[in-house]
Structure 1
Amino acid sequence: MDFILMSEGDTPVGLTHEHRYRELVEEVLLAEQVGFDAFGSSEQHVAIGTATVSAPEVLYPYLMALTSRIRFIHLVTLLPTRMNHALRVAERIATEDILSNGRIELGTGRGNTTLALRAFEVDPTENKSQWREGIELIRRAFLDDPFSFVGEHYKVPPRSLVPKPLQAPYPPISVAAGSPSSVETAAAMGIGAIMGGFYLGYDLVENMLKLYDETLAAATHPYPITPRKMVLVSGGMHCAETTALAREQARPLFEMSKLSTDAYGRLAKLSQDYAYLGAIDDVDFSDEEYLFERSQGFLVGDPEHCVEHVQRYADMGVESLVLRVDSLPHDQLMRSIELFGKYVIPRFKHPRNVVRPAGDVLADIRAARPAHEEALRRFQSGNLTAEAVR
């Protein structure tokens, strides 16, 4: 399983954007040091109170120059035509791919806030078809030389993309998929799906994962596929020395979650394509036990508690876990990243290398003794070969 650190640069009241961006850089550098596989941020515009990263394509190259291993994934680049022309996106991704030595990935989406959509005069009834054409145009630009495109939203005569991406056949592509229909679309197109339950529980996510596998297997793909099953823990991950401390420190995340999803119900009424967002209105953000343990929106606890929750995702077949680590004081975020990287990630990356408690090792040794003694008795009596004992 891959572990992706996500931050949107949530800046508390009274702090400057400059200071928060400097903190964010430190968090990404620590994430690389302790073993996270990738970093990603969403593209948020005119956001109030929850996100300040409006230009990931500017932030990422700065971070790329300071790092050597960690990958970068756009979570997500918005593809309504009034926000980002798909050809410009292809050019930017190719440039980032070169500058990072092949460490960039393109996550895409349509936008999920009325603040941003209205600011850019995006019609929510049209941006799904704009997104689909955008993906088609980007893949053609990456693959064909020259390429061309004729559609409802884009008409590009034969041209050659400059520069070309470094990764072959092209950097991995995915899409934010919050509903079963979006998951089906991603799998049918052969791109990754960034799935999240919107605080609606683990069962929804598990069903989405199964649907993705089934649809991917049944589909035919005209382009090279970049399948990937990613799950977003959108409320937040927070790891502390004890679960009680982690919960106490993480409670401000509830308010952030309410604020970040405030527009979902209104957006659901504007277009049938966003109807699935209306279910968020049924979530009780005052039910702490549900949110922490059953909503799928949070991963909060001490390292061992976090391991148990991550194992649940692993058992579902999740390939990449996207963990939002944001909206808390910088020192708490740094400690959370450090603890998770040191004590949780190795349990899934290098389990045999993790030092086990002495009591557990001794218990296993004692449990193995009867079989060993029986094998030894049979060997000494001539009924068992040394090879069989081994």
Structure 2
Amino acid sequence: MELGITTFVETTPDVKTGKVISHAERIREVVEEIVLADEVGLDVFGVGEHHREDYACSAPAVLLAAAASQTKNIRLSSAVSVLSSDDPVRVFQEFATVDAISNGRAEIMAGRGSFIESFPLFGYDLNDYHELFEEKLDLLLKIRESEKVTWSGKHRPSINNRGIYPRPVQDPLPVWIASGGTPESVARAGVLGLPLVLAIIGGSPLQFAPLVELYKRAARKNGHDASKLTVASHSHGFVAKSTDEAVEKFFPPTQRAMNIIGRERGWGEYTKTTFDHARSLEGALYVGDVQTVAEKIIFLRKNVGVTRFMLHVPVGSMPHEDVMSAIELFGKEVAPIVRDEVEKWKNQ
């Protein structure tokens, strides 16, 4: 059971002071958070790509490269790379470079992206949203399979027997498919035999169990060993010494951030009732003391089948010291409980 952290490098106003941290400062903080996650024994750290004012990182590979030289064991992933609006050649080259700096710890988490700002920014038509991803994923996978590439498509100039460099330390460089939970994207990951990441940020995680089965069926049908494929989840959460402290610190910035996004997308208001319901055992919010968070992750493993869990913290801007404390508790206290329990359960 792998455990890790994800972040979108948020720069929303502080709920108490109204102050907005600079992009530069928040980026430096995240490098420190990755270093700490490595020190406390976590397995992976993922950094999201966004192109908007309230998220500071538009170039995850650069930030991960900065952390790569300061870490020893932790895997370094995008979360996600918005492949639809990027060039697969450059994505591969950037993460192959991170792989070199880290000596084989880089991963690409490829997705369509839940925000659309990158499409007009780089001149892509949202009407091509699905087609862009399929075509560019095809090119990315061809690049990782072969040093010399010949390829043609609709949305990018053709490549005729050109070499793509540098080559990564890992062969092949890990590419994950990120999904919000649509059957189409889950099945695609299975057909391709690629590891799957599910964004479980609302509703009940139990609703994702049939999708995991769909993924494995698609993999088996296409000749892949489903037992060797990894299923990961990414969920919002926060760990503190007590559940009351976790709720007190995490709810206000989360509510503010979720309501800003909710107004953009036409969602209902994010209330304390919504928050508290999501904190229940079968909810998608992993907020509480060490034992509470550990129990929820174990429940997820047993009932949905995930083999990697990534805690997304914070959702809205929080003091850096609080985020660091949550990472330390997650690595030093939550992770050992989860790993021990999963190992016992597997051996029964």
Q: Flag whether TM exceeds 0.5 (same fold).
A: yes
Maintained 8 Å contact 2:31/2:63: no
Q: Which amino acid aligns with 2:239?
A: C
Deviation by residue 1:312-354 (Cα, 9 ceiling, x = unmatched): 1110210111211123211111111111111110123345999
Deviation by residue 1:67-86 (Cα, 9 ceiling, x = unmatched): 11111011111122xx3111
Q: C-alpha distance in 2, partners of 1:291/1:17? A: 30
Q: C-alpha distance in 2, partners of 1:352/1:109? A: 29
Q: C-alpha distance in 1, partners of 2:96/2:169? A: 7
Q: C-alpha distance in 2, partners of 1:182/1:232? A: 16
Residue number in structure 1 paired with 2:260: 259
Change in 2 beyond 3 A, CA 1:353/1:115: closer
Cα deviation, residue 6, structure 1:
0.8
Residue number in structure 2 paired with 1:383: none
Matches within 5 A, 1:141-290: 141-154=143-156, 155-168=158-171, 170-178=172-180, 179-220=182-223, 227-233=229-235, 236-251=236-251, 252-264=253-265, 281=267, 285-287=271-273, 288-290=275-277
* 2:304 is aligned with 1:314: no
Higher CA-based Rg = 1
Q: Which amino acid aligns with 1:123?
A: D
Q: Which amino acid aligns with 2:234?
A: L
Deviation by residue 1:173-230 (Cα, 9 ceiling, x = unmatched): 1122112221111111211221123412222222222221222111246xxx983211
Q: C-alpha distance in 1, partners of 2:29/2:134? A: 36
Change in 2 beyond 3 A, CA 1:114/1:187: same
Maintained 8 Å contact 1:37/1:70: yes
Maintained 8 Å contact 2:259/2:270: no
Deviation by residue 1:6-44 (Cα, 9 ceiling, x = unmatched): 112212432222322222222111111111101111100
Report the secondary structure of 2:241's partner residue. Answer: coil
Q: 1:71 aligns with which of 49, 72, 75?
A: 75
The worse-fitting range, judged by mean Cα deviation, of 118-127 and 312-321 is 118-127
Q: C-alpha distance in 2, partners of 1:255/1:214? A: 40
Q: 1:344 aligns with which of 323, 330, 334?
A: 334
Unaligned runs of 5+ in 2: 14-18
Matches within 5 A, 1:21-32: 21-32=27-38
Cα deviation, residue 153, structure 1:
2.4
Maintained 8 Å contact 2:281/2:296: no
Change in 2 beyond 3 A, CA 1:348/1:292: closer
Report the secondary structure of 1:140's partner residue. Answer: helix
% identical equivalent positions: 27
Tell me the TM-score normalised to structure 1 length.
0.78
Maintained 8 Å contact 1:133/1:151: yes
Change in 2 beyond 3 A, CA 1:295/1:259: farther
Maintained 8 Å contact 2:231/2:307: yes
Q: CA RMSD in A?
A: 2.4
Tell me the TM-score normalised to structure 2 length.
0.87
Report the secondary structure of 2:248's partner residue. Answer: helix
Report the secondary structure of 1:126's partner residue. Answer: helix
Deviation by residue 1:55-96 (Cα, 9 ceiling, x = unmatched): 11211111101111111011111122xx31111112222222
Change in 2 beyond 3 A, CA 1:121/1:151: closer
Cα deviation, residue 282, structure 1:
6.1
Unaligned runs of 5+ in 1: 266-280, 355-390
Q: Which amino acid aligns with 2:217?
A: E
Change in 2 beyond 3 A, CA 1:115/1:133: closer
Q: C-alpha distance in 1, partners of 2:222/2:259? A: 37
Maintained 8 Å contact 2:239/2:288: yes
Q: Which amino acid aligns with 1:193?
A: L
Cα deviation, residue 162, structure 1:
1.5
Q: C-alpha distance in 2, partners of 1:164/1:150? A: 21
Q: C-alpha distance in 1, partners of 2:149/2:228? A: 20
